Structure 1
Amino acid sequence: MHVQIVLFDGFDLLDAIAPYEVFSSAAMLSNEEITVELVSAEGAGMVTSGINRLKLQATGTLDLSRKGIILVPGASGTIHDNGPDSIPVKLKKAAESELSNLLREAMKKADILLSTVCGGSLILAMEGLLEGRHAVTHHMGMGLLSATNAIPVNARIVDDGDLVTGGGVTSGLDVALYLVERELGPRIALAMEQLFEYERRGTVWKAEGNAPKESQQENSNETTRDHSSIQANQNVNFQGKWDTTISTPIGNLSAILDLTSKDGQIVGTAKQGEEMVTLDKPVLEGNQLKWSMKVTKPMRLTLKFIVTIVENKMYGEAKAGMLPSSKLTGHRIS
């Protein structure tokens, strides 16, 4: 079994080192040959972590010709701003590198098991690679998983077949020990736990067994959402075309909004370049217009909008999960 742990600029040390030690130690307890190495998309060289800028040596390039496990850690940094040291910016930078292309190809290979720790799943999600897939990440990033059209599951580990994700800063131990059990069996996994004096935490979720019943509260909330789009305020003139700019932490997004009313409901579209998308369930509450919308730039997301309309001006914000709110400004053009 060959394990490649991927390093990128700003990676979280614990996410990478904990699995490295688990897999390295498992090699001592198994008759199967187990190799583990630190790699990067760029090849051999020193890679700087996000904690105190500690450097680790990547011994080579992520090799998709090697069957086995690829493990992607998350990033570490600040969480309360949108500067270059923030976790979302570091994850997006990794997603925009050659790493995302390699991971996209890895997901097509039947002999590769892709796994992530903590925010590592967001690197995949930001490039649209988790659409329709069950996954977990750090609790602060679960909203972003949903915004990228993944299916977030509140479990410690989510096993979605050829994709295994772990949620939480310390989940690297749990993910690695689970992968040892999955690939080498529970006896070796138990021996590893005893060696480390660590018992795995939480539940491993799989799409197996009976599904739980939905609560009446969930159904009630869904019903409320379904009927929200018929609300309207006749005192606010929202209809027309609007030239808007959304200032996101990772780039500006321009869109032409076209809003109107049809059969007592608000309907609208947004044009981004040559791409046209439909606004999802727009509702007017007072002088605030709310809707959600899928965008592909600067990343694949479902953004939730709250804007205020004053005569021919529009201003407000767009939000996606853990990403900082993005300022929206716009004006009516027709």
Structure 2
Amino acid sequence: MFLQKGLFGGLTLGTNATVQLEFRRADRKPVKAASIKGKGSETEQLPLYTNKDSVVGEIRVANTPGKKVEHQGIKVQLLGQIELKTERGTPNDFLALVRDLAPPGDLTSLQTYSFEFNDVEMQYDSYRGLQVRLRYLLRVTVSRSYGTSIVKEFPFWIRNTEDVPPPPPGPQPPIKMEVGIEECLHIEFEYDKNKYHMKDTVVGKIYFLLVRIKLKHMEIEIRRRETIGSGSHARNENETLAKYEIMDGAPVRGESIPIRLFLSPYDLAPTYKNVHNKFSVKYYLNLVLVDEEDRRYFKQQEITLYRASDAQKSAAPSPQSSTAALQPQSESPSSS
């Protein structure tokens, strides 16, 4: 039975033919759907696969009643592409597979074609960012000797998990950093670790060792940095994904403020390092302090994010319950 058109179906192409595609799994289990954030508050439902999955399905090509479609062959391609904002209109294909469905002929009635792409190497996650997009799609082409060929694309989404070795037994040393202004401000902050899965919780503390300026409030931001290119041609784009106010009012010397940041409500993707020599994605916890004259002081700590399997998430130790929770100022749906 075909999935709904609005989900994974097809649309009329040109005036003479329609193309529909049903995604399936080789093990006959239902195809999962990923809810992907689009423009504004829009979301899109896409078929969800992972690395080494077999992408199989069925394609229906139908002519408009009473009209014959002459063609030079029908094929389906499985493509993996990276599109950079600086190279708009020229995607880089890192994966290209093809299956021929029909030889040249005439389309006079509904035709159904099955296809299989077995154990496909899809090592990169799908990703939509500010200046780069990594996507996977099936492209059905009805080639024509005259006129425009009929082409329809059916995107799907890839999510891969990372096998991370469990931490050694016993308490782990926290990550500590100091920041300050000579003889005016001295702060020490610590986080429980620097590598988190995307449903994890960041636990930490901030200590005020010296306070001689009047601070008004303090917040922590989760920032994402995309980098395309390398060396002198590298181009960075920063995006603030979330802000947490952790202090309102002036601190005193010796004061300690606990932190507990929940990552699950936010639009996060894993950390990516030099994907196909095209782009990288990094994350930072950015500590921001504002004084009474609205001067802002910053300190960043890079963290690594990864997508854990359900087994890994359930095996991860829970943060200490003695740490107070922070309420996020705004939330956005996760699209990764």
Q: Same-fold call, TM > 0.5?
A: no
Query: Which structure shows the higher helix fraction?
Result: 1
Q: Which structure has the larger Rg?
A: 2
TM, length-normalised to structure 1: 0.29
Query: Which structure shows the higher strand fraction?
Result: 2
